[in-house]
């Protein structure tokens, strides 16, 4: 620094010196996020932009998950202040403030950005997103669920776990009913891939049932396997009737889950259509069913 520069610096007031060290805020996500860094230049360069990008990424995931519709903000809904503490302080200080016009926003302070608890930061960001976009102050539990739902892989895992609890234990999540879970069974959760749960659900549909409980097949059977249907279809036309609708059903449960699963579903559907027609011999139908079963085993492997 030259002598002239030193003299000029000494002539500045304390407030002016601080202002010169203050970096301009970084604004992200159409004005939703604004990050300030009142700290030395090395900390600004190392933390301000990474923190801004990290928070912006969370908000974009929430937008992509359909939590709220994106919009432009004149005043930020999430304001983050980065401190200059260099010790292992993990604090993430957050509070909801209001502007003079009544708009609420989340204020987050990271005293020591290098050591801040990232889990707490994520939850604070989600809560800020909810306040700014939905005008709703949510607790950490709901923020955690919202955060998981914004990640496709975590959302898929949660949906599958919930569906399995319903199938195996009859447990219902809050606000869910049987109709919801039946729709979930048909949903293609991971296009192009068949999960273990997809195969289990598909296999659970490989039975025939009478259209009415008080009208059993042949007057005595309340259900039958596909292999049993080969003989029962000769005795009861209702078996052939339900085979037609079952053929459509297995195609729904097998579609969109990869080529092998689709091939297995089509093999089962072809078998059921032939059961309904009643033109092939029992041996031919047995062969078709065995082929379908082998294709399904290939999916499992």
Residues 125 and 32 in one domain: yes
pLDDT range class, residue 161, cuts 50, 70, 90: confident
User: Which two three-digit tokens encode residue 235?
Assistant: 């005795």
Last residue of a domain, one of 96, 125, 149: 149
Cα Rg of the chain, angstroms: 31
With respect to residue 13, please indicate whether it lies within any of the assigned structural domains.
Answer: no
With respect to residue 161, please indicate whether it lies within any of the assigned structural domains.
Answer: no
With respect to residue 175, please indicate whether it lies within any of the assigned structural domains.
Answer: no
* pLDDT greater than 80 at residue 219: yes
Overall domain count for the chain: 2
* pLDDT greater than 60 at residue 189: no
* DSSP annotation of 45: I
With respect to residue 269, please indicate whether it lies within any of the assigned structural domains.
Answer: yes
Residues 69 and 131 in one domain: yes
Last residue of a domain, one of 119, 149, 179: 149
pLDDT range class, residue 207, cuts 50, 70, 90: very high
pLDDT range class, residue 22, cuts 50, 70, 90: low
Specify whether the CB–CB gap between 226 and 274 falls below 8 A.
Answer: no
The pLDDT, as a whole number, for residue 7 is: 47
Residues 110 and 205 in one domain: no
Phi-psi region at 17: left, alpha or beta (left = phi > 0; alpha = psi -120 to 50) = alpha
Specify whether the CB–CB gap between 257 and 192 falls below 8 A.
Answer: yes
The pLDDT, as a whole number, for residue 87 is: 82
Where would I find the beta strands (DSSP E) of the chain? 26-28, 33-37, 78-82, 93-98, 104-110, 207-208, 224-225
Residue pLDDT, tens place only, 75-88: 999 999 998 887 88
pLDDT range class, residue 188, cuts 50, 70, 90: low
The pLDDT, as a whole number, for residue 284 is: 96
Overall average pLDDT of the 78-99 stretch = 91
Overall average pLDDT of the 226-252 stretch = 93
Domain hosting 124: range is 20-149
With respect to residue 206, please indicate whether it lies within any of the assigned structural domains.
Answer: yes
Residues 138 and 255 in one domain: no
Residues 131 and 72 in one domain: yes
* pLDDT greater than 90 at residue 127: yes
Last residue of a domain, one of 91, 119, 149: 149
With respect to residue 289, please indicate whether it lies within any of the assigned structural domains.
Answer: yes
Residues 273 and 213 in one domain: yes
With respect to residue 135, please indicate whether it lies within any of the assigned structural domains.
Answer: yes
Residues 143 and 192 in one domain: no
pLDDT range class, residue 114, cuts 50, 70, 90: confident
With respect to residue 81, please indicate whether it lies within any of the assigned structural domains.
Answer: yes
The pLDDT, as a whole number, for residue 42 is: 66
**Nearest alpha carbon to residue 199 among 250, 275, 154, 271:** 250
Whose tokens are 């998950």? That residue is: 65
Lowest mean pLDDT among 21-25, 147-151, 185-189, 210-214: 185-189
Residues 283 and 200 in one domain: yes
Buried residues in 91-106 as b, exposed as e (16+ CB within 10 A): ebebeeeeeeeeeebb
**Nearest alpha carbon to residue 43 among 14, 59, 21, 62:** 21
Residues 211 and 122 in one domain: no
Residues 127 and 225 in one domain: no
The pLDDT, as a whole number, for residue 39 is: 66
Residues 195 and 139 in one domain: no
Residues 130 and 224 in one domain: no
* pLDDT greater than 60 at residue 3: no
Specify whether the CB–CB gap between 103 and 73 falls below 8 A.
Answer: no
pLDDT range class, residue 59, cuts 50, 70, 90: very high
The pLDDT, as a whole number, for residue 28 is: 95
């Amino acid at each position: 620094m030259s002598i002239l520069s030193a003299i000029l610096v000494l002539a500045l007031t304390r407030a002016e010196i601080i202002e010169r060290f203050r970096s301009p805020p970084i604004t992200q996500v159409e004005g939703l996020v604004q990050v300030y860094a009142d700290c030395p230049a090395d900390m600004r360069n190392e933390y301000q932009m990474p923190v801004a990008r990290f928070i912006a990424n969370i908000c974009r995931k929430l937008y992509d998950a359909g939590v709220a519709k994106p919009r432009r903000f004149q005043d930020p809904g999430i304001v983050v202040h980065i401190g200059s503490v260099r010790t292992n302080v993990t604090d993430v200080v957050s509070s909801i403030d209001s502007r003079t016009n009544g708009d609420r926003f989340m204020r987050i302070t990271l005293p020591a950005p290098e050591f801040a608890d990232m889990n707490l930061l994520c939850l604070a960001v989600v809560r800020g997103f909810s306040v700014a976009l939905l005008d709703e102050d949510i607790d950490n539990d709901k923020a955690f669920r919202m955060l998981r739902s914004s990640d496709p892989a975590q959302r898929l895992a949660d949906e599958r776990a919930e569906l399995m609890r319903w199938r195996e234990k009859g447990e219902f999540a809050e606000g869910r009913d049987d109709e919801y879970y039946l729709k979930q069974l048909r949903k293609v959760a991971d296009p192009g891939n068949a999960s273990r749960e997809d195969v289990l659900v598909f296999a659970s549909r490989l039975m025939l049932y009478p259209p009415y409980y008080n009208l059993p097949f042949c007057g005595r059977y309340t259900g039958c396997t596909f292999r049993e249907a080969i003989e029962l279809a000769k005795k009861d036309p209702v078996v052939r009737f339900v085979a037609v609708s079952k053929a459509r059903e297995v195609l729904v449960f097998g579609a969109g889950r990869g080529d092998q699963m689709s091939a297995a579903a089509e093999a089962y559907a072809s078998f059921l259509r032939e059961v309904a027609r009643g033109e092939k011999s029992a041996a031919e139908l047995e062969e078709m069913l065995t082929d379908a079963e082998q294709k399904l085993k290939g999916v499992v492997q």
